[in-house]
Amino acid sequence: MERIYSSELGEYVGSRVRVAGWIHRVRRLSRVSFLILRDARGLAQIVLDESAVAGTIGGLHAESVVAVEGLVVANSQAPMGVEIRDPEVEVISAATAAPPIDLFRPILNSQLPTLLDHAALTLRHPRRRASWQIAAASLSGFRSALGAMGFVEIHTPKIVGTATEGGANVFTVDYFGRPAYLAQSPQFYKQIMVGVFERVFEAGPVFRAEPHDTTRHLNEYVSLDAEMGFIRDHTTVMDLLTFTIRGMIEAVRNQCGEALGLLDVAIPAVPRTIPAIHFADALAMVGDALDEDLSGEPDLSPAHERWLGEWAAREHGSEFLFVVGYPMVKRPFYTHPDPTRPRYSNSFDLLFRGLELVTGGQRLHRYDDYVEALAARGQEPGALDGYLEAFRYGMPPHGGFAIGLERWVAQVAGVANVREVTLFPRDLQRLAP
C-alpha cells in the first residue's frame, strides 16, 4: 500500500491507509492508548488496543520509526479531526535508547547549548522544524523576487586569496601549503558579475572570524546577496531591497502558515515605502532622546538601533527602517560617497524590529576612484588586481545588498538568539555537530 502523509488523512476517512514516521509519543490513558506518529508534514493519532501496547509498541522507545496501516475515522476530539483505528504496526527502525530530551513537549525546555549539542534529535521538534521552514520559504521568496527582476544566480568561490572586507576577522585555510582565506562575503565577485549579467544574486555561506560571542553573531552564516548595475544611486538599491523583502514575506505567508501558527508569530508587514532617516539625523535624535552626546559618533550601537526601531514603529507604523548615509569611515573601501556630503556615504542599513538586518549601498565604479580609495587606506591595489580589472574595463554605477538569513528568521520568529533558528551554528565554542 502506498504511504500517505499525516496531513492527507482528512481525505481518506473511511479508507484503510498506510502512514509512516517517528513515534512522537505513546499516551497511555485508563481505557485507551494513543500512538502519536510524526512525519515530515505533521502528526497522526493512532488508537492502540491493549495487545499493541503490551506487544510491539510497548517495547519501543520514542523516535523509533514505524509504519502503520489502519482505518481512518473522523473524530472531532483528535488533534487533526481524524484518527487511525484498528492499526497494524510495522517496526522499520527501532531507536536504541530513550531520547535524552522529550520531543513531545510543546516547547522544549532544555537550555540552548543542550538543544544544539543534540541538534540531530532536537531539530525534529515541530517548533524547531518550523523556524527552518521559514528560512527555506525565505530563500525561495528571495530567489523568486530577484528572478522576476531578471537577476541571474551565481556561485562564487569561498576559498579566496585575499580578504574581501579587510581587517583581521578572516579565517585562514592551508591551501596546499599556501595561506588562503574563507570569503567574508561574495562582494568582489558579485561586483565583477555585474559586468557580465548586470543583475546577479547569490545565497551562500560567508565566514567571519569575529571573536565575540553575542546573540546576533555567527562565525558562519548564510548571506543573501544581490548586486545590480545601471542604478541611479543607493535609492535604486533600497527600492530593490523593499521589493525583495516583500517577496520573502509573501513566500513565508504562502508556504509557512502552519509554521507561523506553531511559533505563534505574526507575519511582518512591509509599508509601501519603508521610512528612511539619514544617519546624522538618527544620531541627533537618539542623542536627544537618550540625553547622550553622540555628535561625531561614527556608528549606532545595538541599543540605539533598538530605540530607532521603536521610533519607526511609533512614528511611521513600520517594523522596517532605512538608516542611510553612514559615515565613510565606517564603510569598506568600495563604498560610494554621497556626492553632496562626501564624509557620508551612499549606503544604508535596514533595521527590522530594531536590529540591523541588511547592509547595502552604491559602490564605486570608476577604476581611478578605487586606486584612490585604496591609497587613502594605505592598501596596495596589487592583491586586488583580478577584482580591479572589472573597473579598469568599464563598469556602470552599481550597488547591492546582503541580508543575513539567520537574523531575518530570528526576527520573524521572534527569538532572541540567532542560534535558535540555525541548523548547526558555528561560534567561538561550537564546531559540532
Binding of its own copies by 393 (CB under 8 A): yes
Contacts of 49 (CB under 8 A, 6+ apart): none
Number of Cβ within a 10 Å radius of residue 430: 15
Which stretch in 50-58, 259-267, 316-324, 365-373 sits in contact with its own copies by CB under 8 A?
365-373
Which stretch in 76-84, 234-242, 372-380, 420-428 sits in contact with its own copies by CB under 8 A?
420-428
Which stretch in 25-33, 258-266, 335-343, 395-403 sits in contact with its own copies by CB under 8 A?
395-403
In the chain, the N- to C-terminal Cα span, in Å, equals 37
Give the position of cell 552626546: 293
Q: Looking at beta carbons only, is 52 or 103 nearer to its own copies?
A: 103
Binding of its own copies by 395 (CB under 8 A): yes
How far is it, in rounded angstroms, from Cα 372 to Cα 365? 12
How far is it, in rounded angstroms, from Cα 198 to Cα 360? 17
Binding of its own copies by 250 (CB under 8 A): no
Q: Of 9, 20, 46, 323, which one interacts with its own copies (CB under 8 A)?
A: 20
Site string for its own copies, 30-69 (x = CB under 8 A): ---------xx--------------------x-xxx----
Q: Are strands 320-324 and 276-278 parallel, antiparallel or unpaired?
A: parallel
Q: Of 390, 402, 410, 412, which one interacts with its own copies (CB under 8 A)?
A: 390
C-alpha cell at 16: 484503510
Site for its own copies in 284-303 (CB under 8 A): none
Helix (H) or strand (E) holding 144: helix 126-148
Q: Looking at beta carbons only, is 154 or 282 nearer to its own copies?
A: 154
Helix (H) or strand (E) holding 66: strand 65-74
The least CB distance from residue 396 to its own copies, in Å, is 5
Binding of its own copies by 175 (CB under 8 A): yes
Q: Looking at beta carbons only, is 44 or 283 nearer to its own copies?
A: 44
Q: Looking at beta carbons only, is 19 or 282 nearer to its own copies?
A: 19
Contacts of 73 (CB under 8 A, 6+ apart): 13, 14, 82, 83, 84, 85
Give the position of cell 506487544: 55
> Dihedral, CA atoms, 2, 36, 421, 405, nearest 10 degrees?
30
Site string for its own copies, 105-144 (x = CB under 8 A): ------------xxxxx-xx----x--xx-xx--xx--x-
In angstroms, the Cα distances linking 381 to 331, 370, 374, 385 are 18, 8, 7, 7
Q: Looking at beta carbons only, is 216 or 426 nearer to its own copies?
A: 426
How far is it, in rounded angstroms, from Cα 293 to Cα 256? 45
How far is it, in rounded angstroms, from Cα 133 to Cα 127? 10
Which stretch in 73-81, 193-201, 270-278, 282-290 sits in contact with its own copies by CB under 8 A?
193-201
Binding of its own copies by 95 (CB under 8 A): yes
| 327 upstream amide cis, omega within 30 of 0 | no
What count of residues does the chain have? 433
Q: Of 71, 180, 285, 415, which one interacts with its own copies (CB under 8 A)?
A: 180
Sheet strands side by side (includes 199-207): 152-153, 199-207, 220-229, 398-404, 355-363, 347-352, 320-324, 276-278
Which stretch in 90-98, 104-112, 257-265, 374-382 sits in contact with its own copies by CB under 8 A?
90-98
The least CB distance from residue 277 to its own copies, in Å, is 29
The least CB distance from residue 169 to its own copies, in Å, is 11
Binding of its own copies by 366 (CB under 8 A): yes
Q: Looking at beta carbons only, is 143 or 234 nearer to its own copies?
A: 143
Asked whether the beta carbons of 168 and 210 are under 8 A apart, the reply is no
The least CB distance from residue 100 to its own copies, in Å, is 9
Backbone CA torsion sign across 157, 163, 166, 168: positive
Q: Looking at beta carbons only, is 377 or 392 nearer to its own copies?
A: 392
Binding of its own copies by 22 (CB under 8 A): yes
Q: Of 298, 302, 396, 414, which one interacts with its own copies (CB under 8 A)?
A: 396
The least CB distance from residue 356 to its own copies, in Å, is 21
Q: Of 17, 36, 44, 160, which one interacts with its own copies (CB under 8 A)?
A: 160
Give the position of cell 539625523: 281
Site string for its own copies, 200-229 (x = CB under 8 A): ---xxx-x-x-x-------xx-x-------
Give the position of cell 561614527: 298
